Structure 1
Amino acid sequence: MKIERITPYLFNPRSGKNLLLVRVDTDTGLYGWGECYTTLHKERVVETFVHCIAPYLLGRQVHDIRHHWRILFDDLVIKRGSVDLSCAWSGIEIALWDIIGKQAGLPVYKLIGGRQRERIRLYANGWTNGCKTVDDICAAAVRTVAAGFSALKWDPYSGPWRTILPRGAMDAAVANVRAVRDAVGEGVDLLIDAHRRVGPQQSIEFARRIEPFNILQYEDPNLADNIDLVAQTRAHTRLPIVCGETFYSKEQFQGLLQASAADVINPDVCGCGGILASMELAAMAEPYAVGFSPHNHNSTVVGMAATAHVSMAVSNFLIAEYFVNFKDECNALARQPLEVEDGWLTLPDAPGLGVDIDTEELLRWPYEAFPLAALRHPAEE
């Protein structure tokens, strides 16, 4: 069974960013869906990478997944990888697994080791979209919990990304976390995402100040390009540190694990190389007693399905990400939306990923640029 066509589709869910789905067709008529991780304002970069990769894979065997990535990395980019290349390949790789599962008549998780659990616990993200005040955030948190989620993630900081923040910015972030904890009570897990904002001195102080609020995970406290910064924070806080969202290679995760920088890794299945790469990264983390909590800033259909199949199969899975602000628009594309009940996802026992996309509906939601971010000028510093 050979790859006949690779088609990327940018999709605008009217919230957050454009998403990038990929369809791979074969010479047998079977097809599969994948998804590439995108970042706001750079979505077309990944789409371009998909177009660049496609000619090298046409006519090749669907099943030769490891070899496909090796020739792309070795021969196409001459061992000079990038996150955009990895995101593009991830979408294609996921689609290939969807095809293989359909051919075998089995769900993907049964092809990568079988289930380790019955269902997948999710934490909600994207629920603060549109919030302007702490009161807005608290009200949104209460609504999200009422919708069934028992775990919430958000970034309590506001303002620009700076390595050293004014004292007031940290005070406001701590007050934000306190307010959300008070609003939802003690029975809800809170996950804090600092988005690599500050240096270790401030990230350590912030961690200590929010410890009383019973935080489940503290994500990306520092810029992980210098993993020693994250290791410093982990060594001086009792909060579980999560890192790995910005990584896309085994070498990067090896450095993270050897530095004892994290309690949990959170690669994105749609960005780190796909399903097989995610399984390998989870296995790399196991000997270090490090958990696996996949990042998933992707659709609630294809990206969520790929994330869930990996989560079903890995031993050290903890909890997965679900962007509630994408749900309605993404489910409108799905021929069979994934069912989430009380913050848990149960995968259908269908071949492949178990989801399919209505292409006609997808084409009704084409790429549209989001408003540009406001970048400050020197006079405003």
Structure 2
Amino acid sequence: MRKRHWAMKIVAVETCVVALPFDMGGPKPAFAGRPWDNLEILVVKVETEDGLVGWGEAFGHAAIPATKAAIDTIIAPLMLGRDAGDIQGLSRTILHSLHLLGRNGSFVYGYSGIEIALWDLLGKRAGLPLYRLLGGRDRGPIDGYASLLAYNDNPLVAKNTAAACAAGYRFIKLHELTRAAVLAAQQAPGAADAAIMLDVNCAWSPVVAREMAASLADDGLMWLEEPVWPPEDVHGLASVRAYGIPISAGENVAGLFGFKSLIEAEAIDIAQPSVTKIGGVQEMIRVFDLCEAHGVEVAPHSPYFGPGFVATLHIIAARMEKPMIEVLWLDMEANPFDPWVRGQNGRFPVPQGPGLGCDPDLEVLERYRTGDWARNVWQANR
């Protein structure tokens, strides 16, 4: 028994960034003030003393330099030498150690990536896919919803909506700010049978959000996502529900208690936790439990193309009543986590191998890697 415990000790935590060329069907926008030239994935690799490796992904996008630095300089050294199987204990200990550095941001994002890798390791040791560890069953391929990027051009909205429908998607999310864009999507070829959602990324004050919700009330939106700035204005968000459109939010809140605040304010119909931001798999499950107890739907936020996306597939398979996963509408040149991050006819199979069930193609990872692997290795007692 002692030997098994020793074999679970973490001896290395590594990070690297994979930058993938992509086409989004229109001009690429800036992201947080930076050009978005490539789709970047912050990959996290955790190794135990017996050589077993788990893979994770930490948020993300323009925040990658900060999240990577948080892992490499502070979080990874805290992980080394600890028992990789004690995920609950590690989450309590590590996140408490970091809490003065912020309860929502790069340090929690960084731990989220490591925590996903720990679940990958746990599943590999148990010989079970993650969804089975979480008490789920094989439910077959999961419907994807095409999450279109921001075009700010109604003909491009219509063109990409039509293309997504032709690719088999029957759920389309827009990142636009006008009713005209919604109508352009709904009138696109093939969209008559598609459900349309609108995500405005916290664009409006509560007053404007209510005005926009009133104008959209009869358009049959599946949901209106994050209509209010700032996102922590739970009462302002709650006021938008009066117009009858289901309201979704949650990718920007801090952990379980952030969702508790949204639910207690009666601000949301649909909760959207994000596994690479919230603290990992275990915190996602806690949010599912909370929402189930209060009759709130959960539709995870997952605009990722690495272990974060795959972990979300497993969580959805285990816990979501009506399974559906968000996938950014873009065409990647290559991806080290193919084929699991690309749908067929708008659907995504859940890997059946142990853990996440899909280690990266190391040749592809190396080809698109930017910079050097940052590596922290435990040296004590070796």
Provide TM-score, normalisation by structure 1. 0.85
Q: Which runs of structure 2 are paired with 1:319-334 in the superposition (5 Å)?
A: 319-325=324-330, 327-330=332-335, 333-334=336-337
Structure-1 separation of matches of 2:114 and 2:209: 37
2:217 maps to which residue? 211
Return the match for 1:275 from 261, 281, 291: 281
Asked if 1 retains the 8 angstrom alpha-carbon contact of 2:149 and 2:328, the reply is no
Q: Which of 354, 366, 374 in structure 2 is aligned with 1:363?
A: 366
Partner of 1:258 in structure 2?
264
CA contact (8 A) 2:112 2:275 kept: yes
One-letter amino acid of the counterpart of residue 230, structure 1: L
Aligned pairs (5 A) from 1:185-200: 185-200=191-206
Partner of 1:284: 290
**What are the Cα deviations for residues 330-370 of structure 1, in whole angstroms up to 9, with x where unaligned?**
2xx136535622222221321110111123422322449xx
Structure 1, unmatched stretches of 5+, are 158-172, 369-381
Task: Report whether the alignment pairs 1:102 with 2:124.
Answer: yes
The answer to whether the 8 A contact 1:190-1:216 is kept is: yes
Match of 1:341, SS state, is coil
- Which residue of 2 is the match for residue 297 of structure 1? 303
3-state DSSP class of the match of 1:204?
A: helix
Q: Indicate the SS of the match to 1:212.
A: coil
Aligned residue identity for 2:14: T
What is the correspondence of 1:94-133 to structure 2 with a 5 Å cutoff?
A: 94-115=116-137, 117-125=139-147, 127-128=148-149, 131=151, 133=153
Secondary structure of the 1:13 match is strand
Summarize the alignment of residues 1-381 of structure 1 with structure 2, pairs less than 5 Å apart.
1-15=8-22, 16=36, 17-40=39-62, 42-51=63-72, 52-78=74-100, 80-115=102-137, 117-125=139-147, 127-128=148-149, 131=151, 133-157=153-177, 173-183=178-188, 184-222=190-228, 223-234=230-241, 236-299=242-305, 301-325=306-330, 327-330=332-335, 333-334=336-337, 336-338=339-341, 340-367=343-370
Q: Could you list the per-position Cα deviations for residues 14-53 of structure 1 after superposition, in whole angstroms to 9, with x for gaps in the alignment?
A: 354522111111111110110112142x210000111121
Alpha-carbon distance in structure 2 between the residues aligned to 1:302 and 1:255: 29
Alpha-carbon distance in 1 for matches of 2:331, 2:274: 17
Q: Gapped runs of 5+ residues in structure 2? A: 1-7, 23-35, 372-382
Contact 2:42–2:57 (CA under 8 A) maintained in structure 1: yes
CA distance in 2, matches of 1:335, 1:256: 36
TM superposition shift of 1:221:
0.7
Scaled by the length of structure 2, the TM-score of the pair is 0.85
Paired residue secondary structure (1:213)? coil
Once the 2 structures are TM-superposed, how far is the Cα of residue 113 of structure 1 from its aligned partner?
1.2
Distance (whole Å) between structure 2 residues aligned to residue 327 and residue 189 of structure 1: 25
Distance across 2 between alignment mates of 1:271 and 1:296: 10
Q: Structure 1 residue 297: deviation in Å?
A: 1.9
What letter corresponds to residue 175 of structure 1 in structure 2?
A: A
- Aligned-residue CA RMSD (Å): 2.0
| 8 Å Cα contact 2:115-2:279 kept in structure 1 | yes
Deviation per CA, 1:296-328: give whole Å up to 9, x if none. Answer: 1211x4221100110011154552211132644
C-alpha distance 291-140 of structure 1, shift in aligned 2 (>3 A): same
Contact in 2 for aligned 1:291/1:317 (Cα 8 Å): no
Q: 1:315 to 1:119 in 2, by over 3 A?
A: same
Matched AA of 2:356: L
**SS in structure 2 of the partner of residue 149 of structure 1:** coil
Q: Residue in 2 aligned with 1:374? A: none
* Paired position in structure 2 for 1:379: none
Paired residues of 2:340 and 2:351 also in contact (CA < 8 A): no
Partners in 2 of 1:37 and 1:366 — Cα distance?
Answer: 17
